Amino acid sequence: MNATATATDAKQVIGTWPEESREAAQLVIDAHGEPDEVTESLLIWHRAGPWKRIVASREFYQHQFPSPHIDAVESFIDYRVPVDKFTLLAEFDGSIIVERTVGEISARCHDEQANFLAINLAHDIVTGERDAAGARDYYKKEFLDYRRKKPTPYMEGLRFTPTGTTADGDQPVISDEELKQAEQEGKQAS
């Protein structure tokens, strides 16, 4: 299937998906309209709401935090995470994904509201406002408040504006001279 989306394409594609991922994808379609790209296993929206992209996938993952559910929708933003915060984010939620080189962070859950919650709490961890345990506690509180029909400010949207350069191409550890010498050694060994 090509990457040009039509309503029929998206509907046909998710019609073959497992119920769990089909339901999650439909929530994104309901919120943001038809996807920009459709493949047999993915629906992709670019610049949907505050997100750089949203990806709904046929494949889903069982996730136990904060209660059993499936993860099938991943929401991305441009965001630089300092290396010393990676472990804290992993301690907070295994469905937070950091791409250091690209300069992205994403959250993968069942729906966009849970992704807002996770990304907002990840930001709190990166800025030092919360530690991983505090973020987990707040996630639990807001998740339960959502079910209680109480206010859930962290689920309503991003509570910050990502700014600045986010890509981190790292630093070279091999000099041009070392590369040339290794190349010469390789030629001599042939």
| Alpha helices (H) in 106-155, listed in sequence order | 112-126, 132-147
Q: Sheet containing 53-63: which strands, arranged edge to edge?
A: 37-38, 42-46, 53-63, 69-78, 104-109, 96-99
Q: Is the dihedral of CA 89, 90, 93, 97 positive or negative?
A: positive
Give a yes or no: residue 184 inside a domain: no
Structural domains in the chain (count):
1
Give a yes or no: residue 190 inside a domain: no
Give a yes or no: residue 35 inside a domain: yes
Give a yes or no: residue 87 inside a domain: yes
Work out the average pLDDT over 25-31: 97
Give a yes or no: residue 138 inside a domain: yes
Residue 107's domain comprises 7-170
pTM: 0.90
Give a yes or no: residue 124 inside a domain: yes
Residue 87 has pLDDT above 60, yes or no: yes
pLDDT digits (tens, 9 = 90+) for 109-137: 999 999 999 999 999 999 999 999 999 99
Give a yes or no: residue 188 inside a domain: no
Give a yes or no: residue 177 inside a domain: no
Residue 173: count of CB within 10 angstroms of its CB: 6
